[in-house]
Amino acid sequence: MNRALRPLLATTAIFVLAYLAAIIQFPAMLSTRVLGNFLTDNAFLGIAAVGMTFVIISGGIDLSVGAVIGFTTVLNAVLIMWLGLHPLFAFAISLTVAAAFGAVMGAAIHYLKVPSFIVTLAGMFLARGGASVLSPDSIGIKHEVYTTISKSYVLLPGGGRLTVIAMIMLVVFVLGMILAHRTRFGSYVYALGGSEVSAGLMGVPVARTTILIYTLSAFLAGLAGIVFSLYTSAGYSLSALGVELDAIAAVVIGGTLLTGGYGFIAGTFIGVMLQGLVQTYIVFDGSLSSWWTKIVIGGLLFLFILLQRLVFSAAAPRRKVFWKS
Amino acid sequence: MVNGSQPVVQARGIVKIFGQHRALDGVDFEVRPGEVHALLGENGAGKSTLIKILTGAYQPDGGEILLEGGPVRFSDPLDAQRHGIGTVYQEVNLLPNRSVAENLFLGHQPTRFGMVQRRVIEVKARELLATYGLEIDVKAELGSYSVAVQQIVAIARAVELSGKVLVLDEPTASLDRNEVAKMFEVVGRLKARGLGIIFITHFLDQVFEIADRVTILRNGKLIGTRTLSEVTTTDVVRMMLGKDLAFDHGGVGVAEAVQGPVRVQFKSLGRQGKVAPFTLSLHEGEVVGVAGLLGSGRTEMARLMFGVDTADGGEISVGGRVVSIRNPAQAVAAGFGFCPEDRKLDGIFGELSVRENIIIALQAKLGWFRALNRDEQDEIAGNYAEALDIRAANHDMPVKLLSGGNQQKVILARWLAIDPNFLILDEPTRGIDVGAHAEIVRTINRLREEGLALLVISSELDEVVAYSNRIVVMRDREMVAELSGADIAPSVIVAAIADNRGSQAAKMETSA
């Protein structure tokens, strides 16, 4: 079996077991309502985590994600409420700005040979600071498009609601999987994570791929920002604080190797859902502090990093070779 | 066929200069289609520089490259690949984390509607590898296969994408005998297909086994190109080491009579796959020279002695007492010193001052709680700088600003400061101006006269004979000869290094 699949299987098993345990304690958790809320509440995190998965597979890290989400919510609110633009037009502008921001970070990482950690840290301060300059206060968004979108949903059997933003997240995951596993771009991302030197010698367009990876991550962070503003009907410079860290946690729990080269978009989905499960459990329990989410996520992260070490540091099994003479 | 055809790639009068140093000086080289052309030379001879120029990684400062008769310039390795020159490096430059099939076709995957057609790639990969006699699961990660398989995948990719010239840079360095045979089978097939193959290695027997011609470089200069069927191993070794053997060096050697008690003894010290067990005693006031080609196990032997690599058998005794040396700190505690081959990488601390570089081993030996104060440091550094004639403007300048010879003396001073029993010098004159060679040789002689036991590894035969009481010869990771007295002469050493290909082949057959 492929070694890289093992952490993913472990995550899936843990998710299933944890969900079963939760259901035994609170049978009400087994319903499409809960499931629908899972998806809706974590839509912005999931979308951002897809971008983060690409970045981490390529061997980098993107710390600017949360700040870009925050910036996009404010930019959206400003464009719609202060300048009176149509929301769809505002979305297009926000996404373009976010993508351009990512492209600049990617270019800096590649051409200046600065670690992605530092460049995106700078990006994080810039985006968060820029958002606060635009508006230090929360701006409520009132527009019929916003009301329509947040009211629309598909009714699931069992009374659950699959909201528009949940659907956006699911679509992003599906597209992300196709992009990662079925396109040349996807294979280049894995190649960079395997060895940038080898990739270059093999003809991978390293510069273009690096720039595209950070463009994609920032674009998806922008999309997550739009989803977040739809979710909260507001733009606030301090929203989505620390979401980049939740996204990294989801990616790693989902079986992607922090050092790059191995990983699955589908794993990230389970990573996000696992975080949602912990939150929901805490809501159902009622007596636990919501900070327990962080503690559980911390414990899981630690477990998975340990697991990856075990799986990948054990000498690779040598396959049998059949030589024809 | 080989002799008549036009060269597929040809380098004429190539010059490459790094700073002050002429890495290549007017080198000519050519490969004909259907020919395996070996490129030989010791470290620093210019092999890798020449290859980097042929494959576009470097640009030549002079001379020209002709591809099928027409002049070309390669902007980078990819450009060379597009022109038909593919390279396979010793450390396989593929992606261990991706499947075999993807490694073969990355960047050239057939797509439909932007989707990579994985099935098509897998079928093509299977077919392609079958032509190399390899049947493997192409969906599996490349990293899960042995280096030999990875090499062949790399060759298949290079040939698929380029198809005129294949450069093999030490492809057999980490393969066992069976794998080498498979690799040579593949090379034979490609040769029959009319590819020009450049084969770089330091295994002489492999050169004679597979290559048609050999080109030998030394110190950046072309020594000659020969058809292998017309030369012997001794000829090749002589060309590589560049000694004029007609000239008799007798009388230069060191009198062996003056010999103190045994200082250090290594008994059947060895490590599987690195060095066969060897036994060697060094006396007070004795220099033992180590001769052998690159890759013969010279450096590995020194690393075992100093505990850089751990021996898996044998024992070491110092002054008659058995000591355990499993890491360099224990070696230093036993009074050993080691000046490594790659001074810049393993020896000096470039940013630290001359003084700090000199006292660092002594300080390490003293430990945390007995810090040398500034006065003591200055005194020690000053004494040794004077004794060894280290020329530095002052002792607080970074050691990287010194010349190679002075850096070497700084490392020597570092070990002399711990008052050693035994000193290992690995290629002490490499990368040092020729003028400074004599000075290092004089220093070695003086240390011997002062009663130190030294082991000196060197490929400069003239120098080895000038300071050694005895010489041991390494070949194929084994100590094969111990020379003393009248045998300490370059001609005897060359004969011992090149010795009897017949018995070597026999030995390999039994081990295979």
pLDDT per residue over A75-105, tens digit each?
A: 999 999 999 999 999 999 999 999 999 999 9
Q: Which fold has domain B9-97+141-231?
A: Rossmann fold (3.40.50)
On whether the CB atoms of residues B482 and B472 are closer than 8 A, the answer is yes
Mean pLDDT over the full length of chain A: 91
Select, from the ranges A206-220, A227-241, B192-206, the one with the highest average predicted confidence (pLDDT).
A206-220
Q: What residues contact residue B122 under an 8 Å CB cut-off, 6+ apart?
A: B101, B138, B139
One digit per residue, the tens of pLDDT, for chain B of length 512 reads: 444 578 999 999 999 987 767 888 899 999 999 999 999 887 667 888 898 899 888 899 999 999 988 999 998 888 888 899 999 887 778 998 899 999 999 988 888 888 888 899 999 999 999 988 888 999 998 988 888 889 899 999 999 888 899 999 888 877 777 888 888 999 999 999 999 999 998 778 889 999 999 999 888 889 999 999 998 888 888 888 765 444 344 444 455 555 678 889 999 998 888 888 999 999 988 899 998 887 788 888 999 999 988 888 888 999 888 999 888 888 988 889 998 887 777 788 888 888 989 988 888 888 878 888 888 888 888 888 888 888 877 888 888 888 777 888 888 889 888 888 899 998 888 767 666 777 788 888 888 888 889 999 988 787 888 888 899 998 888 888 888 888 888 888 888 888 754 344 333 433 33
On whether residue A89 sits in a domain, the answer given is yes
Helices (H) and strands (E) in chain B, counts: 17, 23
Chain A partners of B105 at a C-beta cutoff of 8 Å? none
Reduce the DSSP state of residue B8 to 3 states and report it. coil
User: How do the residues of chain B divide into helix, strand and coil, expressed in percent and rounded to 5?
Assistant: 40, 25, 35
Interface residues of A toward B, Cβ cutoff 8 Å, are 2-4, 178, 182-184, 186-188, 190-191, 193-195, 197-199, 201-204, 261-262, 316-319, 321-325
HSE-CB at B362 with a 13 A cutoff on CA atoms is 22
Q: What is the 3-state secondary structure (H, E, C) of chain A?
A: CCCCHHHHHHHHHHHHHHHHHHHHHCHHHCCHHHHHHHHHHCHHHHHHHHHHHHHHHCCCCCCCHHHHHHHHHHHHHHHHHHCCCCHHHHHHHHHHHHHHHHHHHHHHHHHCCCCHHHHHHHHHHHHHHHHHHHCCCCEECCCHHHHHHHHCEEECCCCCEEEHHHHHHHHHHHHHHHHHHHCHHHHHHHHHHHCHHHHHHCCCCHHHHHHHHHHHHHHHHHHHHHHHHHHHCEECCCCCCCHHHHHHHHHHHCCCCCCCCCCCHHHHHHHHHHHHHHHHHHHHHCCCCCHHHHHHHHHHHHHHHHHHHHHHHCCCCCCCCEECC
d(CA B211, CA B229): 9
Task: Give the closest of B94, B102, B116 to A198, CB-based.
Answer: B94
- Geometric angle at alpha carbon A284, from A11 and A173, rounded to 5°: 40
pTM for this model (two decimals): 0.78
Q: What residues contact residue B13 under an 8 Å CB cut-off, 6+ apart?
A: B26, B27, B28, B62, B63, B64
Chain A partners of B95 at a C-beta cutoff of 8 Å? 190-191, 194-195, 198-199, 202, 261
On whether residue A142 sits in a domain, the answer given is yes
Mean pLDDT within A41-47: 95
Chain A partners of B114 at a C-beta cutoff of 8 Å? 183
Q: What are residue B134's DSSP bridge partners? A: A323
**CATH code at position A255:** 1.10.3470
d(CA A317, CA A1): 10
Nearest chain B alpha carbon to A259: B97
On whether the CB atoms of residues A250 and A297 are closer than 8 A, the answer is no
Between β-strands B478-484 and B470-475, what pairing exists: parallel, antiparallel or unpaired? antiparallel
The answer to whether B95 contacts A199, with C-beta atoms less than 8 Å apart, is yes
Task: Give the closest of A182, A262, A323 to B116, CB-based.
Answer: A182
- Residue whose token pair is 């066992």: B176
On whether the CB atoms of residues B418 and B335 are closer than 8 A, the answer is yes
Task: Give the closest of B78, B107, B145 to A321, CB-based.
Answer: B145
Residue A255 falls in which region: left (phi positive, over 0), alpha (psi -120 to 50) or beta = left
Nearest-CA distance B188 → chain A (Å)? 13
Q: What are residue A155's DSSP bridge partners? A: A161
The ipTM value here is 0.86
Give Cα B186 distance to the centre of its chain.
25
Sheet with B275-283, side-by-side order of all strands: B275-283, B262-271, B313-318, B321-323
On whether the CB atoms of residues B325 and B314 are closer than 8 A, the answer is no
On whether the CB atoms of residues A243 and A41 are closer than 8 A, the answer is no
d(CA B117, CA B140): 17
- Portion of chain A with pLDDT greater than 90, in percent: 65
Domains in chain B: boundaries: 9-97+141-231, 347-418
| A313 pLDDT tier (thresholds 50, 70, 90) | low
Mean pLDDT within A284-313: 82
Q: What separation in angstroms does the CA of B383 have from each of A179, B37, B359, B395, B440? A: 67, 53, 11, 11, 18
Chain B partners of A264 at a C-beta cutoff of 8 Å? none
Nearest-CA distance B279 → chain A (Å)? 34
On whether the CB atoms of residues A91 and A226 are closer than 8 A, the answer is yes
Q: Which DSSP category does B141 fall into?
A: B
On whether residue A167 sits in a domain, the answer given is yes
Nearest-CA distance B154 → chain A (Å)? 10
Chain B partners of A202 at a C-beta cutoff of 8 Å? 93-95, 103, 106-107, 157
Please tell me the predicted confidence (pLDDT) of residue B2: 43
Nearest-CA distance B298 → chain A (Å)? 29
The answer to whether A324 contacts B134, with C-beta atoms less than 8 Å apart, is yes
Nearest chain B alpha carbon to A206: B107
On whether the CB atoms of residues A212 and A185 are closer than 8 A, the answer is yes
Please tell me the predicted confidence (pLDDT) of residue B507: 39
Q: What separation in angstroms does the CA of B377 have from each of A10, B355, B367, B398, B489? A: 58, 7, 15, 16, 42
Nearest-CA distance A113 → chain B (Å)? 19
* Consecutive H or E run containing B11: strand B9-18
d(CA B182, CA B186): 6
On whether residue A177 sits in a domain, the answer given is yes
Nearest chain A alpha carbon to B181: A325
Pair of tokens at residue B467: 């300071």
| A50 pLDDT tier (thresholds 50, 70, 90) | very high
- In chain A, the number of structural domains is 1
Residue B7 falls in which region: left (phi positive, over 0), alpha (psi -120 to 50) or beta = beta
Q: What are residue B166's DSSP bridge partners? A: B86, B197
The answer to whether B93 contacts A319, with C-beta atoms less than 8 Å apart, is no
Reduce the DSSP state of residue B342 to 3 states and report it. coil
d(CA B55, CA B67): 12
Task: Give the closest of A184, A194, A318 to B96, CB-based.
Answer: A194
With 0-12 CB in 10 A as exposed, 13-18 as middle and 19+ as buried, what is A298?
exposed
Domain range for A163 is 5-312
Pair of tokens at residue B507: 């030995």
d(CA B450, CA B368): 31
d(CA A312, CA B147): 18
The answer to whether B107 contacts A2, with C-beta atoms less than 8 Å apart, is no
Task: Give the closest of B78, B95, B116 to A191, CB-based.
Answer: B95
Q: What residues contact residue B473 under an 8 Å CB cut-off, 6+ apart?
A: B290, B291, B292, B479, B480, B481, B482, B483, B493, B496, B497
Interface residues of B toward A, Cβ cutoff 8 Å, are 77-78, 81, 93-98, 102-103, 106-109, 111, 114-116, 118, 130, 133-137, 140-141, 143-146, 149, 157, 182, 185
The answer to whether A187 contacts B109, with C-beta atoms less than 8 Å apart, is yes
